[in-house]
């Protein structure tokens, strides 16, 4: 405040100031310097008391107990002491105001370090190389070559350090897709017989809006065009050329999932959406092999060998990986799609296409107060989303496939 501003007792004075929330946190926050880990995460997991409205904003964003990201601003007001000989300042008031942060950077699959699978492969190679080197050094020291530099001379004369290159460019992929098949066997009760193949795909950049302003549900459903899932159908009838034997409709029930991934150690890689689209068992199998490396490292440590920090940190992180999915029921609208078939003489099959918009179910949203924070990830934790599509094609069977979806 300038010297001319006079403050009177028991009169309030308004002073306006502005501040910006940085896009990135400090770069020493991630040991691995992964850009994705340095993006400022949204507020997460904690109810927030708004001192303006004197109300607590209840947050139901599926965060597990003890996990939270919170933002607040502190202000200190200093005053110059009256009748002091020299400039002497006293603290007049200290205040703290909590606020919520919603929008964060959009996640995409174009990570400079390669896809999640490629990053895990690179880590595995580094881990197995490191273990092999430790073993060879141990062998050399057992036969009397104990000086580290002498060991290195022998080791590096035979093993050249390998460089990795990535052939696949994930940035070129435009959508995520999955296939499923429905078999309609010949039966007395139905005239439909044949095989129905469905390709379900969604644009890579498709995103659902985050939900924080629960008071304003109408704007949520009106302002943005919902992301569209595309379906390609092909039906190969047992008896060719008769459209009366094709299934007439399918039911789609989308189930939204919040996916949380974390580890005991710092996560040394970045998750992409393609990784998320895999089944939970498939994801867990990617980490299973690191348990064997972890056990091998422990055995080596027990023989008194010193293991580099990089190796133990990587293996502790990858060996204690936790993947947790929380279904958010009825948050998306279900739909029945009528199928209008066209005969394709080339493939001797019937084909049709349909769009399925992913719309929030406003009734569910207003009855159950959800908060969906944008997807984010950092060294300790990742929150991402996917949609599981339960599809019924009328033959009594239900098939399910999952596709990743961004929320921002
Ligand atoms: Zn990190």
Q: How far is the CA of 377 from the centre of ligand 1 (A)?
A: 9
Residue 336 half-sphere exposure toward CB, CA atoms < 13 A: 5
Q: Using a cut of 0.85, tell me whether the model's pTM lies above it.
A: no
Alpha helices (runs of H) in 303-369, residue ranges in sequence order? 309-319, 362-367
SS3 breakdown of the chain: % helix, strand, coil, rounded to 5? Answer: 25, 30, 45
Q: Is 239 helix (H, G, I), strand (E, B) or coil?
A: coil
DSSP state of 157: H
Looking at residue 1, what is its pLDDT? 52
Measured in whole angstroms, how far is the alpha carbon of residue 216 from the centre of its chain?
26
Q: What is the pLDDT along the chain (408 residues), one digit of tens a residue?
A: 555 677 788 888 887 888 888 888 898 889 888 888 888 898 898 776 666 677 776 778 888 888 888 888 888 888 887 776 777 888 888 888 888 887 665 555 455 667 888 889 989 999 998 888 888 888 888 888 888 788 777 777 654 444 344 444 455 668 889 999 998 888 777 778 889 999 999 998 888 888 875 556 666 555 678 899 999 999 998 876 665 578 889 999 999 999 999 988 899 999 988 888 888 888 989 999 899 999 999 999 998 888 888 899 999 999 999 999 999 989 999 999 999 999 998 988 999 999 999 998 888 888 877 888 889 999 989 999 999 999 998 777 899 999 999 888
- CB distance 144 to 158 below 8 Å: no
Q: Of 193, 294, 167, 288, nearest to 245 (Cα)?
A: 193
Q: How far is the CA of 99 from the centre of ligand 1 (A)?
A: 25
Tell me phi and psi for residue 326, to 5 degrees: -115, 115
Antiparallel, parallel or unpaired: β 381-392 and 249-263: antiparallel
- CB distance 23 to 105 below 8 Å: yes
d(CA 155, CA 350): 63
Q: How far is the CA of 121 from the centre of ligand 1 (A)?
A: 18
What six digits make up the tokens of 205? 């950049």
Q: How far is the CA of 313 from the centre of ligand 1 (A)?
A: 12
Q: How far is the CA of 28 from the centre of ligand 1 (A)?
A: 9
Q: How far is the CA of 137 from the centre of ligand 1 (A)?
A: 30
pLDDT digit string (tens) for 288-303?
989 999 999 999 999 8
Q: How far is the CA of 372 from the centre of ligand 1 (A)?
A: 23
Q: Which residues pair with 321 in a beta bridge?
A: 263
Q: How far is the CA of 27 from the centre of ligand 1 (A)?
A: 10
Q: How far is the CA of 325 from the centre of ligand 1 (A)?
A: 22
What six digits make up the tokens of 172? 């070129």
Q: How far is the CA of 382 from the centre of ligand 1 (A)?
A: 11
């Amino acid at each position: 405040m300038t010297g001319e501003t006079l403050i009177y007792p028991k009169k309030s004075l308004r002073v306006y100031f502005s501040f910006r929330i940085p896009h990135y946190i400090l770069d020493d926050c991630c040991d691995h310097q992964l850009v994705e880990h340095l993006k400022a995460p949204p507020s997460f997991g904690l109810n927030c008391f708004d001192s303006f409205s004197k109300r607590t904003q209840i947050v139901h964003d599926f965060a597990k107990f003890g996990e939270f990201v919170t933002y607040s601003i502190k202000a200190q007001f200093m005053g110059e002491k009256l009748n002091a000989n020299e400039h002497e300042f006293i603290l007049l008031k200290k205040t703290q105001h909590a606020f919520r942060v919603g929008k964060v950077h959009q996640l995409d699959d174009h990570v400079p370090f390669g896809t999640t699978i490629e990053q895990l492969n690179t880590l595995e190679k580094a881990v197995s190389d490191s273990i092999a080197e430790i073993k060879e050094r141990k062998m050399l020291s057992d036969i009397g070559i104990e000086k580290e530099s002498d060991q290195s001379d022998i080791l590096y004369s035979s093993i050249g350090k390998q460089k990795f290159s990535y052939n696949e460019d994930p940035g070129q992929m435009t959508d995520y897709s999955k296939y499923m098949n429905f078999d309609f066997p010949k039966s007395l009760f139905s005239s439909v017989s044949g095989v129905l193949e469905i390709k379900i795909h969604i644009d890579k950049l498709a995103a659902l809006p985050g939900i924080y302003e629960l008071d304003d549900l109408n704007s949520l459903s009106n302002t943005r065009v919902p992301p569209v899932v595309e379906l390609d159908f092909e039906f190969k009838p047992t008896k060719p050329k008769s459209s009366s034997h094709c299934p007439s409709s399918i039911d789609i029930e989308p189930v939204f999932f919040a996916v949380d991934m974390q580890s005991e150690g710092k996560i040394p890689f970045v998750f992409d959406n393609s990784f998320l689209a895999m089944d939970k068992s498939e994801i867990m199998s990617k980490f299973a092999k690191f348990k064997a490396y972890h056990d091998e490292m422990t055995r080596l440590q027990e023989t008194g060998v010193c293991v580099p920090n990089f190796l133990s940190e990587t293996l502790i992180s990858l060996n204690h990986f936790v993947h947790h999915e929380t279904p958010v029921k009825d948050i998306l609208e279900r739909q029945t799609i009528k199928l209008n078939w066209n005969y394709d003489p080339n493939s001797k099959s019937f084909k049709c296409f349909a769009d399925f918009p992913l719309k929030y179910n406003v009734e569910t949203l207003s009855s159950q107060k959800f908060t969906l924070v944008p997807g984010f990830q950092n060294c300790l934790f990742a929150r991402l989303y996917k949609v599981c599509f339960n599809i019924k094609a009328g033959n009594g069977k239900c098939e399910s496939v999952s596709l990743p979806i961004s929320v921002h």
